[in-house]
Structure 1
């Protein structure tokens, strides 16, 4: 069942329930009022007839004639008068005697002073009446034809109006729900046209602050992220293809030349050395790609624990110096720390080691003295790392681009690389809710600043 139909049915049920309760209250009130008014009428008729009988001394036959004549055209009240000893003093129609009074009933009415009850659909009142210091009991009974007819008419009209109202409400609910869901239908049709080939399409949006507008804006934001992701993926695949093609082509060419004819031992050694160098480039590229994939995992799937940054920096420095013995790394503290918590962060040791190693390697690779130093400082709940080198520096035009995957600036001719290191480092630093920034000046050097929030 569609939401539009569900809302229409739910709206109809709720409204029908309210209308039914309202109609029931009206019918119940009308029923109570009819009963109360007719009991009052019976009481007045009983007292009036008793006054005529006792005070006006109207004869019994006259009163009975009036009753008989009126009964043919009116809903006449049947009245009977008894004394305490159950002696009948007057009765409108003894032969009918609808109430069928008993001594117990008369005694009970006398003791209570007033009594009201139903006999089938006839209403009966009994009351105590005093005349010349003598107490009598009067009963009066009648069937409220007119009142019951009004109630039946009210019930019949209420049922008809209820059915008509429900039909009208259902039609109105269907119409308004259709109007309300028109933007959703338009959004659905638009979304069906969006695919991987036209992610530039967007849902219509307006300045209204309603839920549909918010949904449309949220969906458009998601499309923007997907579009950026697809574009990044395209560039990633393109760059990877290029990075892989170059060393592979060099390896294949070198080996094919070596197989064309007999070569000297020295030539074979040179060919093997070149092939090994290209293979090492491929190995570094594959390792970088694996690390980039790990850094792109869902953060909830990466294990974090309390990690001492100084220990990770030492491991990263040893790794860099082991890969190239000409590299030199210096680790220093601006001031001593009083608590291990100052030098510890909640992080992943392996990923942090990869990030620091990239920064060390970058600093050493682009410095003429192949040296990089890191200065550790503490500022309240901040842990600050400054990676400094005396290298060729980075131009201002390139600073805004260096954290993009596979980007290589004007310094690409100075040293080899694949443009993954800094983008991988930024991703790792962001995973640890830290920040990385850079200051640089051409031919002077660069400073990469990493700031962690400590516990």
Structure 2
């Protein structure tokens, strides 16, 4: 269901529900007020009748069946009125109709208390019973009758409420549709703008409207997402372009070497030399393929996280790097530590294999581009952040290229004479980001490079 229809339906149900509850209250209180007015009128009539009869001595105990001086039709002013009077011993003294059934009246006598009349319905008649004391004598009086005028008013009120609710329902639906249309119009505009954005127009942005309401927040969020998509798309294009170039170079060299060997190598030593050159190019292809695979795997955030001793990962990476560069001086220092020392020193949540790979890439780059000593310093930046700084004294990086060296397969201009493919820093950055950390890089041409990574501790 469309949001517009949901809003209209919910708005209609809410307002109609409130309206029906209000109508129910109006009808209930009107019906209660009519019933109370009519009961009061019946009780007043019964009391007046009893008082008149008693004053005329029509209910003297000496007469078993009183004969009032008033005719019954003179006392009947309520449609269908019926009056019955009982003495304190609950004996019937007077009834306004000889054939009037006293069964229900007799049953209700025990419920009557002084100043507490009872109300009930019997044989379609509304009846009120009360206690009346005159000249020290207690009488029980029942008055029954019909209220056609009051019932007619209730019927008219029901008809009026029904017609009003039906008419209001139509107006509520129209108002709901209008307000839903007005509220969703900016969203419709955003949808139309988004539909025009294609892969060739990722630079297009959605208008943010007044810049303050929720629609503007949605547009800003969508624009931020578009910026990320555009950046990822450009990174992907750059990655494909660089990967194609890097793969094409060794493949072209390999093909040329084999073709030359096939056409011109006359003896076994020359053939073996060509084969050695081809094998070297194949190894380069394998290294590049492994690097691209590691770069793709570094985007996988589904690995299992567990407490990892970061110093163990650093020691293992130092061992790998020392084996690859046996003559290089690599120093390890320990910097600022928190006070007091935590029970789990240098422990971070993550994956030991990935963290070792990230550290090794930093050390490998430092050794590759520097002939001098490499300094690795492990410390705590804050009590909750572990910090590793790897510094070399190598060729450095130009300021204009600092922002690009973390991109996959990008190599600085002064580094292209060295072996490599430009994926080590990219892999390190992805791994560190997956672990909730940050990578910072500072460098100057001819003065070396320092890479700092920070990770949250366990």
Identify whether the pair has TM-score above 0.5, normalized to the shorter chain.
yes
Q: Residue 75 of structure 1 aligns with which residue?
A: 79
Deviations 1:52-87 (A, max 9, x none): 4444789946544535xx76xx73744455656888
Contact 2:128 2:143 in 1 (8 A): yes
Give 1:103 deviation, angstroms. Answer: 12
Instruction: Report whether the alignment pairs 1:412 with 2:412.
Output: no
Match of 1:29 in 2: 29
Deviation digits for residues 199-252 of structure 1, max 9, x if unmatched? Answer: 233333234544433333222222221121111111110111111111111111
Residues 362-393 of structure 1 deviation map (CA, whole Å, 9 limit, x = unaligned): 22222345x53434445664544332333223
Matched pairs, number: 444
Segments of 5+ residues of structure 2 without an aligned counterpart are 59-66
In structure 2, the CA distance between the partners of 1:138 and 1:363, relative to structure 1 (3 Å rule), is closer
Q: Could you tell me whether the CA contact under 8 Å between 1:355 and 1:429 is conserved in 2?
A: yes
Corresponding residue number in structure 1 for 2:61? none
Shift of 1:21: 2.0
In structure 2, what is the Cα distance between the partners aligned to 1:432 and 1:78? 91
**Structure 1 residues 79-88 or 184-193, which shifts more?**
79-88
- SS at the partner of 2:300? coil
Alpha-carbon spacing, 1:230–1:118, altered in 2? closer, same or farther (3 Å):
same
- Mark the CA change 1:82 to 1:335 in structure 2 (over 3 Å): closer, same or farther: closer
- State whether residues 248 and 278 of structure 1, in contact with CA within 8 Å, keep that contact through their aligned partners in structure 2: yes
Provide the alpha-carbon RMSD of the alignment.
3.5
Instruction: Note if contact 1:84-1:107 (Cα within 8 Å) is conserved in structure 2.
Output: no
Cα distance, 1:10–1:396 mapped onto 2, change above 3 Å: closer
User: 2:346 matched to 1:346?
Assistant: no
64, 74, 80: which one aligns with 1:66: 74
CA contact (8 A) 2:235 2:407 kept: no
- Cross-structure match for 1:374: 376
Which TM-score applies when normalising by structure 2?
0.83
Cα pair distance change 1:84/1:426, threshold 3 Å: closer
State the match for 2:41 in structure 1: 41
What is aligned with 1:403? 406
User: What is the CA deviation profile of residues 143-169 of structure 1, one whole-angstrom value per residue up to 9, with x for unaligned ones?
Assistant: 212111111211222222222222222
State the distance in 1 between where 2:191 and 2:10 align. 23
Matched residue of 1:272: which SS? Answer: helix
Who is 2:63 aligned against? none
Equivalent residues of 2:392, 2:448 under 8 A apart: yes
Distance in 2, matches of 1:284 and 1:216, equals 44
SS for the counterpart of 1:385 is strand
Q: Point out the more displaced range, 196-205 or 332-341.
A: 332-341
Give per-residue Cα distances to partners, 1:11-45, cap 9 Å, x unaligned: 32232222222222222212221121112112222
Shift of 1:5: 2.2
Query: Does the C-alpha gap of structure 1 residues 3 and 345 become closer, same or farther in structure 2, counting only changes over 3 Å?
Result: closer
